[in-house]
Each structure stands twice: as C-alpha cells, then as structure tokens.
Amino acid sequence: MLDIAEELNRWAREGRDFAVATVVAVGGSAPRRPGAALAVDAGGTAIGSVSGGCVEGAVYELCQQALTDGETVLQRFGYSDEDAFAVGLTCGGVIDILVTPVRAGDPARPVCEAALAAAASREAAALARVVSGPAQLLGRALLVHPDGAGEGAIGGFGAHPELDRTVAGEAAAFLDAGRTGTLEIGAEGSRCGAPVTVLVESSVPPPRMIVFGAVDFASALVRVGKFLGHHVTVCDARPVFATRARFPEADEIVVEWPHQYLARTHVDGRTVLCVLTHDAKFDVPLLELALRLPVAYVGAMGSRRTHLDRDRRLREAGLSEVELARLRSPIGLDLGARTPEETALSIAAEIVAARRGGSGAPLTGARTPIHHDTATRKVTSARRIGSVA
C-alpha cells in the first residue's frame, strides 16, 4: 500500500477508516507487481489499482466487506476464459491480493499510519504484514526503520519474540535492497507452531544514478535516468562543461574530480555509476574505487581499444578478476545505437536488465520468463536473521 502512500497518509490524518487491497504475489503475465494497491474509504472513494482494471470491481467489494466485518482476507484471482464476463485476469496470469481493514481502534492502524507517514515523506522504512498463518496473527504489522528500530509486533508483543526478531531482520534486508515481496517463514523459524507468510513493502528514496563526464551522451542519459525514477547527479572536474544550463534536468551537478567525489558521497546497493569520460586520467582512479563499492551497476563508455587499455591499467592498479568482472564495458546493450539518445537508451536497457536479471535478448521466439523478479524469500530457521536478500 506504500505505492499510494501520499493519498492514504492524508486519509489517515483526516481520521478516515479505509481498507487496502495489496498485491502479494503474482504468477504469469500479471499486470501489476507485488506492492501495488487499491484502497477504499468508508465513503466509497477508491484510489490506486491492483490489476489495471481486470478485477478492480471484485476487489472494491472485498474492501467494502473488510470495512464492515474488520476481517483480513487473502484472495486469489486467476485467468477467466470461456465466460468473458467472469471476474479474472485476461492476461493469463494469477495474482494473490491481501485485503486489510485500517479502522479506528484496530491494533495495526498506528503501525500503518507510521508507515504511510514515512513513505509520504520519502523516508526509508519497511512495513511487514502477515499474509497467512495462525488466525491470531492475521492483520498484525511491524514497521522496520533503517537503524533497526521497529514499531508494532507480529508475534504479539512478547508472545512470540523470536518471530518478531526474524521478521525484523529479514525486513531490514528487504529494505536495504529496496525490495518488496513475500517472506515465508517455516514453523521452526516462526516459533509459533505453524508456517507464516509475511508481505514486506519497502519504501525507499529514489535510487541514485551518478553520471561521470559532462558530455553530450550524459545529457541524454540524465533524461532517461530521471524517466526511470533515479535521483541523477552529474559529476565532472571541468567547470566549463558541468553547468546547470547544459543539464537542467539533473538533480545535482558537482564540479570535482570524479574519484574524489565518489569517495565522499553516499552510495548503496541500488546505486548505478555511469562513467562516460573515456579519459584514462579520470576513468582509472574512479573505476579503481567504483569496482570495490557495493553498488548495483558500474559501466564505462569507450571503444573496444579504450576498454583494453583501461582494463590493463586497472590490472596494474591491483584490481582482481572478480572486481574487473563487475565492469560493464563498453557500456550498454547492442542496439546499434549512434545518437546520444539511442546510446542513453542502450545504457538504460543494460541497467534494467542487470537489476531485473534479464538477458537483453529479444522476447520474440524466446521461452524465457518475461518477468525475472524473485519476490519470495524463504526462512526455515530463526538463525537466518539479517541475511542479505
């Protein structure tokens, strides 16, 4: 429900009762991914979407029912074939939807309100809600902050402390990766005598894209990066090129030697670094640092000859084979790109493929899945607390 947090946060501040339907899991070519939500207030106003229109009417009714009886419901919607008027997905996919009432006096409401306030303010937080398990746990929620602090409880405020610690640790891993998905905890890990499935929704600031080199290709890449939802920084040591007039859409413009800026700025597991200078005096010290940082993507522009020279210099600087293998060079996918805009599209396509696990091959004639995300994580023992997603 954090994808519609701004409006829901307003509803919460106004004291409205509402119910939220959230996509928990998908199969096949489902139209929306886990975390997508539709909410309905007590007056019948609806916001958001869970299927792009296929099952919205049925989900709307489930939300109204949840507002009436206060029950949390997990509902599966699949393909409807012979009967064109049946409720179902025409795309052939399957979606599981969790419908949760958020009413005055409900134990989980303060936790949900805190999560919505954090998401609306673009603060990092992970909201964990029970999808399936013992009846007494349904509807419970736990909010986890980046510093490890938590609000609420899933285990029941002391009844099952091991479960709360397990969920908090795993939710922190989801948050660190900026992921939303389900967490399946086995009976041993839950310590409550039965398996528990938890939906973890991460609210995180936009991922960073740092473009090194204030060149024409960078201007196009800034626009594409913003389109993909990145917070984009352009960095170049040459003040005549790194100007607001040349990069009006960039969030930040930094005039500094690239490796010095990278050494002092914050990066994380979602950050992408695009090195477009193709000048050894800038590239080598920058890549020597970049390839040793825990970032999502490092790509460098240049011809194959430039790549071979850069590779040699990086080896001489002491980078290992494992570190060198992280470098995407020449940067981008083979689209036959020539213009700055086409090149930016090529780079962006490689970034998306690296993030989602795609091959970059045409889908026509392929038998590989269209969607590659793994949104479910399994925990069989509480000893796996805090492991990386």
Q: Give residue 373's pLDDT.
A: 55
Q: Which domains does the chain have, with CATH numbers?
A: 1-106 (no CATH), 107-205 (no CATH), 208-356 (3.40.50.720)
Q: What angle (nearest 5°) sits at the alpha carbon of residue 163, between those of residues 161 and 164?
A: 65
All residues at 6 or more sequence positions from 31 whose CB lies less than 8 Å from its CB, including other chains? 51, 52, 54, 89, 91, 93
Ranges under pLDDT 70 in the chain: 28-32, 52-54, 79-92, 156-159, 188-193, 367-389
Q: Give residue 1's pLDDT.
A: 78
Q: Give residue 176's pLDDT.
A: 80
Report DSSP letters for 84-108, one per residue: TTSSSBTTS-EEEEEEEEE-TT-TT
Secondary structure of residue 38 in the 3-state scheme: strand
Pairing of strands 46-48, 376-379: unpaired
**CA–CA dist 9, 121 (Å, integer):** 10
**CA–CA dist 97, 75 (Å, integer):** 5
- HEC profile for 307-372? HHHHHHHHHHCCCCHHHHCCEECCCCCCCCCCCHHHHHHHHHHHHHHHHHCCCCCCCCCCCCCCCC
Angle between helices 280-290 and 304-316 (to 10 degrees): 60
pLDDT digits (tens, 9 = 90+) for 20-58: 999 988 876 655 688 888 999 999 999 998 876 668 888
Secondary structure of residue 192 in the 3-state scheme: coil
pTM for this entry:
0.68
pLDDT digits (tens, 9 = 90+) for 185-203: 877 656 666 888 889 999 8
Provide Rg for the chain, Cα atoms.
23
Instruction: Please state the separation of Cα 245 from the chain's center in Å.
Output: 32
Q: Give residue 225's pLDDT.
A: 96
Query: Which of 113, 137, 132, 83 lies closest to 20 in space, CA to CA?
Result: 113
Query: Which of 201, 206, 183 lies closest to 270 in space, CA to CA?
Result: 206
The residue assigned the tokens 């989980």 is: 108
Q: Give residue 61's pLDDT.
A: 93
Q: Give residue 159's pLDDT.
A: 57
